[in-house]
Amino acid sequence: MQIVILDTPEQVANYGADRFADQLKHKPDSVLGLATGSTPIALYNALIARVQRGELSFAKARTFNLDEYLGLAGTHLQSYRYFMNEHLFRHLDIDLANTAVPDGATEEPLAACDAYEAAIKAAGGIDLQLLGIGRNGHIGFNEPSSSLASRTRVKTLTPDTVKANQRFFEAGEFQPHLSITMGIGTIMEARQILLLATGEGKAAAVRATVEGPLAARCPASILQMHPKATLVLDRAAASQLEDVAFYQYIEQENQRLPGV
Ligand code: PGA
């Protein structure tokens, strides 16, 4: 794993935007894996600014999102489809037909999961997958105890995840406890993975991911097995890591040897 520790959340977002921009310049028809949550918003804003300045284009790109609430249609304000349209897609030059989010309104969730897997495969697989991380180490909605080999499927959210996301729902409003999520095995097939984490609240999960054992207890720890995974952290998210000096030394050396 490449561990990049930066001073501020803004720097984390800009680093992420640089990686996406490099990917699209190198391969304009890239297949991008995208995420929701509060962490990616600054990265998305940075990408939107670049597109609007004419520096970057998503015209040929395809995207697949990690997950969606089961039971919410894409028109629902809390659905992840709605989030993506509002926070990213409608500001880009991307064709909405080339953006995929699991269908939360499906009557046949199991078939929808299989179809999502097939669509990723038909697109040639994901070139660059963006991830956030839950305080419990989840990636997508793969909660602790998820099979590390899992595929796209229906998952039950932990009470903690439901609580963490409660802030987005009105009091008394239906809040789903089920989701459709790419599996951990699905995520691991992406050619490159970029996980962003900011803030003290993520520090324990980041430590378990980087320095803990590989364990279903912390789903993100599977990234130890990925040949091209980068974790981009601000100081607060990195604050419980033991070997910070070593990670920073490696990064300094990487910068002296461009292309490594
Ligand atoms: P957050 O969510 O970016 O809102 O913290 C990340 C996640 O739960 O994966």
Lookup result for tokens 């987005």: 168
- Closest atom of ligand 1 to 131 CA is 9
Record: fold of 2-254:
Rossmann fold (3.40.50)
- How many angstroms separate the alpha carbon of residue 200 from the centre of ligand 1? 13
Instruction: Name the β-bridge partners of 195.
Output: 131, 231
* Mean pLDDT value across residues 133-154: 97
From 12, 34, 36, 184, give the residue whose CB has the most ligand 1 atoms within 8 Å, as the site to mutate.
36
Instruction: Please report how many Cα atoms fall inside a 13 Å half-sphere around the Cα of residue 212, on the Cβ side.
Output: 20
CA 35 to ligand 1: nearest atom: 9
How large a percentage of the chain has pLDDT more than 70? 99
Contact 149, 184 (CB under 8 A): yes
Query: Strand 67-69 relative to strand 178-181: parallel, antiparallel, unpaired?
Result: antiparallel
Nearest ligand 1 atom to the CA of 196 is 3
Q: How high is the pLDDT of residue 164? A: 87
Condensed to tens digits (0 to 9), the pLDDT of residues 199-251 reads: 999 999 999 999 999 999 999 999 999 999 999 999 999 999 999 999 999 99
Instruction: Report, as residue numbers or ranges, the catalytic residues.
Output: 67, 136, 138, 143
Q: Which residue has the tokens 């910068």?
A: 255
Residue 64 has pLDDT above 80, yes or no: yes
> Is residue 154 pLDDT above 60, yes or no?
yes
172, pLDDT greater than 80: yes
Report the Cα 37 to chain-centroid distance in Å: 9
Mean pLDDT over 17-44 rounds to 98
Q: Distance between CA atoms of 182 and 190, rounded to whole angstroms?
A: 11
Instruction: Give exposure, 113-149, as e/b (b: 16+ Cβ within 10 Å).
Output: bebbbeebeebeebbbbbbbbbebbbbbbbbbebebe
How remote is the CA of residue 126 from the centroid of ligand 1, in Å? 21
Q: Does this model's pTM top 0.85?
A: yes
* Bridge partners for 232 per DSSP: 4, 196
Q: Which two tokens stand for residue 197?
A: 């984490």
Where does ligand 1 bind, in terms of residues with CB under 6 Å? Answer: 37-39, 132-134
- Give mean pLDDT, residues 96-122: 98
The pLDDT of residue 182:
98
* pLDDT for the residue numbered 161: 86
CB 60 within 8 A of CB 29: yes
pLDDT at 50 over 80: yes
Domain boundaries, the chain: 2-254
Using the mean position of ligand 1's atoms as its centre, give its distance from the Cα of residue 257 in Å.
33
Q: What mean pLDDT, rounded, does the chain reach?
A: 96
Share above pLDDT 90 across residues of the chain, in percent, rounded to a whole number: 94
- Give me the pLDDT at residue 84, please: 98
Q: What is the mean pLDDT of residues 54-68?
A: 98
**How far out from the chain centre does Cα 51 lie?**
20
Helix (H, G, I), strand (E, B) or coil at 130: strand
State the average pLDDT over residues 150-159: 95
Q: How far is CA 135 from its chain centroid?
A: 14
pLDDT bin (cut points 50, 70, 90) of residue 258 is: low
Counting ligand 1 atoms within 8 A of each CB, the residue from 12, 38, 83 with the most, and so the one to mutate, is: 38
Atom of ligand 1 at shortest range from CA of 139: 9
- Confidence category of residue 256, pLDDT binned at 50, 70, 90: confident
Q: What pLDDT is recorded for position 259?
A: 61
Q: Which two tokens stand for residue 179?
A: 């989701």
Residue 259 Cα, ligand 1 centroid: separation in angstroms?
A: 30
257 has a pLDDT exceeding 80: no
Question: Mean of the pLDDT values across residues 136-165?
Answer: 95
* pLDDT of 260 above 60: no
